[in-house]
Amino acid sequence: RAVRLAEVLAELRAVRHHLPLSEVVERTLAALGLPGSAAARFDGPRSYANLRKLVAIARRIEAREPATIGRFIDHIETLRTEEVREGEAPAEEERGNAVCVMTVHASKGLERPVVVAADLARASRPRARTAVVLHDALGPIVMGEQEDGSLAFPPPAVAARDAAVEREIAEERRLLYVALTRARDRLVISTPIALRKDGTPSRTGALVDGLLSAFPELLNGEAATLEGEGWTGRVARLDADVAEAAGRRSRSLLVRARAAIEAGRALDGGDPEAEQAILARLQPLPPDLAARTRFTVTELAHYLHCPRRYELAHVRGLAGYVPAHEAPVAGRLRAHERGTLVHRALQRLGRGPVSEIAEEVDAAARECGLAGHDPEELARIVALLVRFTGSPTWERVRTAAELRSEAPVIAPLGGALVEGQIDALIRDGPGELHLVDYKTGRSQDGGTQAEHRFQVGAYAVAIRQARGRLPATVAVHYLDAGEAMSVDPPAEAAEAERLVGEVVRGIREGRFPPKPDCDRSACPWAWVCGGPV
C-alpha cells in the first residue's frame, strides 16, 4: 500500500499544474479509492455525497480565483479551525422527487424546495423542577430542609438549574432556526395552539414561544401578512369546531360510525369524487430515475441483456410469468434458490477440506432457510461441488495465500456508484490477485456470456480502484458445465467502463427499448412486453 501511495503521489504531482483544481481533487479521491470505501460504510450514500461535495467546493474556489492545491488545503483548514459548519450533502434518496419525513436534527445541512414544519407545539418546555441539580464545580446538589420544614435548593443549585433551563431554551431556539431555514422556496408552519379565555396562548412549548416572541401579530385576527427582507408570509388562523373536536376525549370516526363500518355501508356525507382523488394521490410515485446514483452490477447486466425487460422487472416491479408445467415442484429448489445455496456452500467451504462438503451444504441450506427440501437434490449439489474440487479453479482456491469469499465491492463508475459481490478474490504467494465468479445454469449462451464478461470486468475495475492494479487473472466458472471462461482483464475492464456509462445514461434517461432479436417465447416478461402496463 505504501508503494501504491507513492505511485499515486508521483502521478498527481506530474499533473497538478496542468489540470483544474476540481479535477485534481477528483483524481486524488479516485486514485486513493476513497469514493468506494466511503460508499461501503454504514452511512455510505451520505459519505459518498460528501466527497462529491468536496469536489464541488474545489469547483467553487476555482470559479472565483486562481486556485491551487495549497489554497484549497488552506481553505479547508480555515473551515476546520474556525469551526465553520459545512452542511451534509444530500444523499440520493434525499434528492429524489419524493416526500422525506425526518427529524429536525436529521435535516441539518439539507435544503428542499418545500418544507413543512408540523406540530411545533409538541416540543416540551424545559422544566425547572428536578430532584437533583448537577453543578459544574460542586457536583450533584439535593434539596435541603428549610426552617419551616419545606424543601428547597441552596442558591448555587438554583443558579445552576436556571442556567440549565436557559441552555435548553437556547437549544430549542437553535432547533427552530434549523427547521425554518431548510426551505428554499416555501415554508409551511402548522401547529395547534390552545388559547385561554383572554386569547393568550397556553401549553405552547419553546418553539412556538420563539415564533410568538418574534411575531406577536400571529395571534391577531383571522389572517395576517408578514414581510421581511426578501420574503413574505401569510398567517391563517383556523379555529377548531367544538362540535367536531370536543376536546381530548372526542371519539374517532371508527367509534362514531362503527355500525356502518362493520356492515360495510357507505358513510353519510361522503364525496365519491373526492374519494377517488385521494386514492389517486395515494398511488405509488414512479421512481425518479434521473436522480439515481447507485446501481448493482447485476441490474446493469440485466439492462444490457434487454432494456425493456429491465424496465418491467426493476422499474415497474413486475414478476415474470412461469408456465404451469415449469412451476417448482414441492420440495424442489427454484433456480435462484439453488444458486444461492451453492454460493453459500462455497463460501462456507473456503479452501477446504473437501471431506466437509456434505456438512457445508447442509449448514448452508439451514442458513438460507432451504432445509427440508428433497434430499436427492441436496445430494446432487454435493456431487456438483465434489466435481468442482477436481478443477484448476479449485486448485487455485485451495492453494491461495488469502481467500475472500463473497467480497463486497463498490466503485464510482459512469457517474454513479456501482456495487456488487465477488464470489472469490484470491491472493497467491507472490501477491497477485485473481478473481473468480461462480455461475450455475447455462454456459453456452453467447448473450449470457457477454453479461458475465461485463460483470467480472466491472469487478476488475473496482479492484483496480481499491488496490491500484487489475487482477492478474479473471475467470467465470460454470459449475454445472464444469468449465471455466477466462477473460482478458485489461480488455474487459475497459469495455465494462464504457458500457457502465452507456447503461447508466440509458436508465436515467428512461430509454427502455425492447431487445431487437428478442425471443418472446423464452422471455418470462413477454406477457406484458408488447402492450401497455
- For a pLDDT cut of 70, what percent of the chain falls above it? 84
Query: Using one digit for the tens of pLDDT, what is the confidence trace for 257-305?
Result: 888 888 888 777 767 787 788 777 777 777 788 888 889 999 999 999 9
Q: Supply the pLDDT for residue 383.
A: 95
Give residue 223's pLDDT: 57
Confidence of residue 389 (pLDDT cuts 50, 70, 90): very high
Residues 369, 374, 375, 378, CA torsion sign: negative
- Strand, coil or helix: 422: strand
Instruction: Note whether 333 and 340 are within 8 A (CB).
Output: no
Rounded CA-CA distance 362/345 in Å is 8
pLDDT digits (tens, 9 = 90+) for 404-445: 998 888 888 888 889 899 999 999 989 899 999 999 876 666
Under 8 Å CB-to-CB from 191, ≥6 apart: which residues?
118, 119, 120, 121, 122, 208
Note the pLDDT of residue 246. 46
Looking at residue 293, the DSSP 8-state letter turns out to be -
Mean pLDDT of 447-462: 92
Could you read off the pLDDT of 135-181 as tens digits, one per residue? 777 788 888 878 888 888 888 888 888 888 788 778 777 888 888 88
Backbone φ and ψ of 68, nearest 5°? -130, 170
Predicted pLDDT of residue 97: 63
Is the pLDDT at 205 greater than 50, yes or no?
Answer: yes
Domains for the chain: give ranges and CATH numbers.
Answer: 2-93 (1.10.486.10), 105-236 (no CATH), 294-529 (3.90.320.10)
The β-bridge relationship of strands 183-190 and 112-118 is parallel
What pLDDT sits at residue 370? Answer: 83
- β-pairing verdict for 473-478 and 433-439: parallel
Looking at residue 89, its pLDDT comes to: 57
Q: What is the CA radius of gyration of the chain?
A: 32
| pLDDT of res. 533 | 41
Tell me how far apart the alpha carbons of residues 457 and 460 are, in angstroms, rounded to a whole number. Answer: 5
Question: What pLDDT band is residue 221 in, cutting at 50, 70 and 90?
Answer: low
243 confidence band (pLDDT: 50, 70, 90): very low
pLDDT of residue 337: 86
Q: What does the DSSP 8-state code read for residue 102?
A: -
* Separation between Cα atoms, residue 532 and residue 513, nearest integer Å: 13
pLDDT digits (tens, 9 = 90+) for 78-115: 766 655 555 555 555 555 566 888 888 777 767 788 99
Local confidence band at 245 (pLDDT 50, 70, 90 cut-offs): very low
Cα distance between residue 146 and residue 168, in whole Å: 29
Cell match 360495510: residue?
Answer: 264
- DSSP code string of 276-290: HHHHHHTSPPPP-GG
Question: Between β-strands 294-296 and 416-427, what pairing exists: parallel, antiparallel or unpaired?
Answer: parallel
User: How many alpha carbons fall within 13 Å on the CB side of residue 408?
Assistant: 10
pLDDT at 193: 77
- What's residue 422's pLDDT? 94
pLDDT tens digits for 511-529? 999 988 787 777 888 888 8
Q: Which residue, 496, 520, 478, 491, is CA-closest to 306?
A: 520
Helix and strand tally (H, E) in the chain? 20, 16
DSSP bridge pairs for 420: 409
- Of residues 494 and 330, which shows the higher confidence score? 494
Residue matched to cell numbers 356525507? 269
| 142 and 134 Cβ atoms separated by less than 8 Å | no
